Structure 1
Amino acid sequence: MPLSDMISLLFCLVFVLSFGNGNAKDLGALCSTCKQITDNFNKGFERTTKKNFGGGNTAWEERKLSKYETSEIRLVEILEGLCDSSSFECNHMVEEYEEHFETWWFKRKTKHPDLHKWFCIETIKVCCPKGTFGPDCNSCVGGSDRPCHGNGRCDGDGTRGGSGKCTCDPGYEGEFCLDCAERYFSEERNDTFSSCKECHSSCTTCTGATNKDCNDCRDGWEEDEEEACIDIDECSKDPPPCKDKEYCLNTDGSYSCNVCDGRCSGCKGPGPGNCVACAEGYKDEEGTCTDVDECELPDAVCTEEHQECVNTNGSYKCRCAGGFEEHDGVCVQQAQPEDSQEGPAEDTEYSNTENVLTEHQDL
């Protein structure tokens, strides 16, 4: 027996044993690798069309081109570009079946122009035609023309592995993907075709597309006098569902609780214009809570000697004035170097940030 036949027989044996162990992932990978190879072969075939020709003696080029089109040189150029150097599976398959490529190139190409079908499906048998699966390329559920009746994916479709069972698309269920899933209704159906459409968002189950076609209302919805499912406004309930310093925002079928603006003491919506009352350190000005400038109040808030007031959002700070520093809770004159001939250090608003005596913040 020729060596090439022995290699092919060994590969088939490994293939059968692999299938017997249920290694569907490897079977799918073999087909994927083979398809990648044949796709790259076709790209290489296009890339080398009329290569190195163009311009000059047309009759001479046609003679040379005719020889190049079917030459071994062109075949080798195509084979060299089939795989990335890092792809072991791809390079191994090409090396193992190089003689098959030569056979197809010189003897089968005209009669069998579809390389994927001839090589992957019919010759080394790692793939199946679309719509079929398994070692014998059996038809998927629903038939090979419309696997899973067009509403799902056949396990192992196009490979020598898989179970042929359907994984249904959203909205469909059942062995044949002909039944409508929950929250979908049947728009049209017969023994081989099914079209399922989504129910209205208010329905658990339904017979049509509107909120009047619900069999049951979903949580967060209720039936009105006309037997239509309408949204429940949870925010209008008494007591309200949200905590203090939160406001309720109604949504279709639900609600959310959101933190009030920091300037509010209770609120009915976002921002300082929706406060029920203003938080400490803020005041109502034309319906909006704004900061109180404690440093401008008639009665001084920083009463210790040599202190000055700094306003902050919702509060204020007391710090030592320029030329003074905090020591044991009081502001004392800063010591000046005796040998300094210069005047006192520059007094700026930012030079005493470390001398804050007291800082007031809302609780």
Structure 2
Amino acid sequence: MKMRSVGPSLLFLLAVISHIGHAKRDLKVACSTCRQVTDNFKKGVERTAKQNFGGGNTAWEERTLSKYETSEIRLTEILEAVCDSSSFECNRMVEEHEDLFETWWFKRQTKNPDLHKWFCVESLKVCCPKGAFGPDCNDCVGGLDRPCHGNGACDGDGTRGGDGHCSCNHGYEGEFCLECIDGYFGKVKNDTFALCTECHASCQSCSGGTNQDCDECKAGWEEDEQDACVDVNECSRDDPASCGEEEYCINNEGSFSCKGCDRVCSGCTGAGPDACRSCSTGYHDVEGTCTDIDECSEEAALCTAAHQECVNTPGSHLCLCVSGYEERDGECVPTAVSEEEKEEPESAETESPQAHEDL
């Protein structure tokens, strides 16, 4: 099928949409940078408070401190520490608007103590007050004090970017974050406020917080005679849960799990050697518990080759060569003596007369 070419008008529209998206992101970044600058400036003010003073002539310090407090020296010290050397956007903002910092520092801070508001919101216009968004600082849904009615985040909140769309917190949904998602119910709700509370674990949806308030039971739960959702015991049903032959079923709330049988069992109904359907090879039932068979203690000899002995192991046994013998080609033969071991007795005999002489 031949594809239709995209017209110039559509390409232009796509370019405009892309540009708007980038612009909104850039505005958010600019506000974030500005907040970083003003936050660090505030820390610098706190750090330089009464710096290099303390002890000595108090009257002189107070006179000198009052001069330093609003001095250009102090402003310079603060500005020099506002940005990390690697933060390009931060350093550029400080350098480009150093005159604004000087204006605020010397003329405006008394009447405008909130530097972020004066610098970022009112002067640079890269931020909005909290609870507002966009180029014109429109109020978020729910108002400045409770954006998204307190149940979500307003896109662009506090910046000149974003579209004010609410991203609801878990448990909430809807354009205004006033609706409850499936599995939650509205404990308190009106036109401007909603409090969504999680349903009982057994409920798919509900009108209250107990298992009797379920509108529908979740999978793994079923309705009883009192119209309450109760756990289905998959392990005790006529159609038992699908576990393997060497596994047993464990019931959980709303579900089940399978776990491997004890190694002494050949099939089982639970954990441990006393829950076996039958015993594995090498084990036998002793008063309801699968216990290891000591094959070596049985009357019939199992290890009949020369110089062999029987060693019992869990569920089995081994035929091993007795001490002083080793297995070679399927037979137990005397352990070979190395040349060094042969020489040791001779050395001892040679040294013996010398030892007597020393005595």
Instruction: Report the TM-score, using the length of structure 1 for normalisation.
Output: 0.84
Q: Could you tell me which residue of structure 1 aligns to residue 187 of structure 2?
A: 187
Does 2:96 match 1:101?
no
Superposition pairs of residues 1-363 of structure 1, within 5 angstroms: 20-241=20-241, 242-337=243-338, 340-342=342-344
- Offset, 1:342: 4.3
| Alpha-carbon distance between aligned partners in 1 of 2:104 and 2:339, rounded to the nearest angstrom | 102
1:263 aligned partner, one-letter code: V
- Offset, 1:248: 0.6
For 1:66, what is the secondary structure of its paired residue? helix
For 1:325, what is the secondary structure of its paired residue? strand
Q: Is the 8 A contact 1:266 1:277 kept in 2?
A: yes
- Offset, 1:153: 0.8
| 1:320-354 per-position Cα deviation (integer Å, ceiling 9, x unaligned) | 223323232222233335781447xxxxxxxxxxx
| Alpha-carbon distance between aligned partners in 1 of 2:289 and 2:270, rounded to the nearest angstrom | 12
| 1:280-331 per-position Cα deviation (integer Å, ceiling 9, x unaligned) | 2233445443333333333332222222233322222222223323232222
Which runs of no fewer than 5 residues in structure 2 stay unpaired?
1-16, 346-359
| 1:255-275 per-position Cα deviation (integer Å, ceiling 9, x unaligned) | 111111112222222223333
Instruction: Report the TM-score, using the length of structure 2 for normalisation.
Output: 0.85
Q: Could you tell me which residue of structure 2 aligns to residue 4 of structure 1?
A: none
- Offset, 1:76: 1.1
Q: Measured at CA, do residues 337 and 227 of structure 1 come closer, stay the same or move farther in structure 2, by a change above 3 Å?
A: closer
| Alpha-carbon distance between aligned partners in 1 of 2:21 and 2:166, rounded to the nearest angstrom | 22
| Alpha-carbon distance between aligned partners in 2 of 1:162 and 1:171, rounded to the nearest angstrom | 23
- Offset, 1:21: 4.5
Q: Measured at CA, do residues 35 and 338 of structure 1 come closer, stay the same or move farther in structure 2, by a change above 3 Å?
A: closer
| 1:20-59 per-position Cα deviation (integer Å, ceiling 9, x unaligned) | 3434333322222211111111111111111111222121
1:146 aligned partner, one-letter code: R
| Alpha-carbon distance between aligned partners in 1 of 2:174 and 2:21, rounded to the nearest angstrom | 28
Q: Measured at CA, do residues 289 and 193 of structure 1 come closer, stay the same or move farther in structure 2, by a change above 3 Å?
A: same
For 2:43, what is the secondary structure of its paired residue? helix
Q: Measured at CA, do residues 96 and 318 of structure 1 come closer, stay the same or move farther in structure 2, by a change above 3 Å?
A: farther
| 1:58-107 per-position Cα deviation (integer Å, ceiling 9, x unaligned) | 21111101100000111111112212222222222222222211111111
| Alpha-carbon distance between aligned partners in 2 of 1:91 and 1:19, rounded to the nearest angstrom | 26
- Offset, 1:18: 9.7
Which runs of no fewer than 5 residues in structure 1 stay unpaired?
1-16, 344-363
| % identical aligned pairs | 65
| 1:150-177 per-position Cα deviation (integer Å, ceiling 9, x unaligned) | 1111111111111210111111111111
